[in-house]
């Protein structure tokens, strides 16, 4: 005897659908495409600008400032720089801009960065275009094939990025001089360089690889108090990794642009003292 509230028995041998029959590719009604489109536009703008400046091979030094795109300048034809190393390591390299020699390392670091992978995978390849939006690709192999398997080099590019940040720190210290290389002076360029190197260090240290190097493979934090404190600091930076990635990208371009404007004679560096 049934009360009328019990479920109707399912007929034997009848299969029911396990998923709703939805023909739409997604159900999002917001402007989900704005984020990947904005990301693609921002990255494309930096690519165009940095490529132009790297291949220009000019207007990258205005004493005491040297563009971060060209530091350290290691080619024979580098402009005389009393503010930074100029070791003539690579001879004349007449067909290659000095910036190309240097930018390989920070570029490799950013290309293999976990955040930037997400950014340009979505922005340029639509893989996937956004959360809860199906991607147009029929197959997916992840990062197991060439060239994406090279993403595994991220940790090694991190080591190189540390060296690059060190060189930029040296250039920033030397920016506390005037055009005659006398110490104890400060200009607007000094402020630009200090802000840039601070953001470069913050972005570099917020890297996921850095967080793992500092605190990874530890079973007992209590036995490693110094590494634990360092891991917590890096963890706080890591929580802002996306913001630091964009801020440092803008700051390094701004620092190069400032040097370019000075070197090309657009205006003189305002000196505070």
pLDDT tens-digit series, residues 95-118? 678 788 888 999 999 999 999 999
Q: Measuring CA to CA, how many Å separate 251 from each of 77, 149, 174, 219, 258?
A: 27, 30, 18, 38, 10
Contacts of 46 (CB under 8 A, 6+ apart): 249, 253
| Domains: count for the chain | 1
Distance CA 224, CA 263 (A): 49
With a cut of 70, say whether residue 87 has pLDDT above it: no
Residue 90 confidence (pLDDT): 40
On average, the pLDDT of the chain sits at 86
Distance CA 153, CA 107 (A): 12
The verdict on residue 29 lying in a domain is no
Distance CA 271, CA 176 (A): 10
- Token duo for residue 252: 């390094």
With a cut of 80, say whether residue 91 has pLDDT above it: no
The verdict on residue 6 lying in a domain is no
The verdict on residue 162 lying in a domain is yes
The verdict on residue 21 lying in a domain is no
Sign of CA dihedral 225, 229, 232, 238: negative
The verdict on residue 24 lying in a domain is no
Range of the domain at 222: 34-263
The verdict on residue 7 lying in a domain is no
The verdict on residue 41 lying in a domain is yes
The verdict on residue 11 lying in a domain is no
């Amino acid at each position: 005897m049934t009360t009328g509230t019990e479920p109707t028995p399912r007929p034997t041998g009848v299969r029911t659908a396990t998923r709703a029959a939805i023909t739409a590719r997604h159900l999002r009604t917001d402007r989900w495409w704005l984020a990947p489109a904005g990301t693609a536009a921002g990255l494309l703008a930096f690519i165009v600008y940095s490529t132009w400046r790297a291949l220009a091979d000019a207007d990258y030094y205005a004493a005491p400032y040297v563009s971060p795109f060209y530091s350290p300048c290691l080619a024979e034809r580098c402009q005389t720089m009393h503010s930074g190393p100029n070791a003539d390591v690579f001879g004349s390299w007449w067909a290659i801009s000095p910036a190309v020699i240097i930018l390989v390392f920070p570029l490799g670091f950013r290309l293999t960065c976990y955040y930037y992978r997400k950014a340009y995978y979505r922005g340029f390849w639509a893989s996937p275009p956004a959360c809860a939006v199906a991607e147009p690709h029929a197959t997916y192999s992840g990062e197991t094939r060439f060239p994406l398997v090279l993403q595994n080099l991220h940790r090694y590019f991190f080591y190189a990025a540390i060296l690059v940040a060190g060189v930029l720190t040296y250039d920033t210290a030397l920016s506390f001089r005037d055009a005659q290389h006398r110490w104890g002076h400060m200009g607007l360029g000094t402020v630009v360089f200090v802000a840039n190197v601070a953001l470069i260090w913050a972005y570099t240290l917020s890297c996921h690889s850095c967080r793992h190097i500092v605190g990874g493979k530890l079973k007992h934090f209590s036995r490693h108090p110094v590494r634990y404190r360092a891991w917590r600091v890096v963890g706080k930076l890591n929580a802002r990794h996306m913001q630091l990635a964009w801020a440092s990208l803008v700051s390094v371009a701004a620092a190069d642009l400032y040097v370019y404007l000075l070197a090309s004679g657009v205006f003189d560096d305002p000196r505070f003292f």
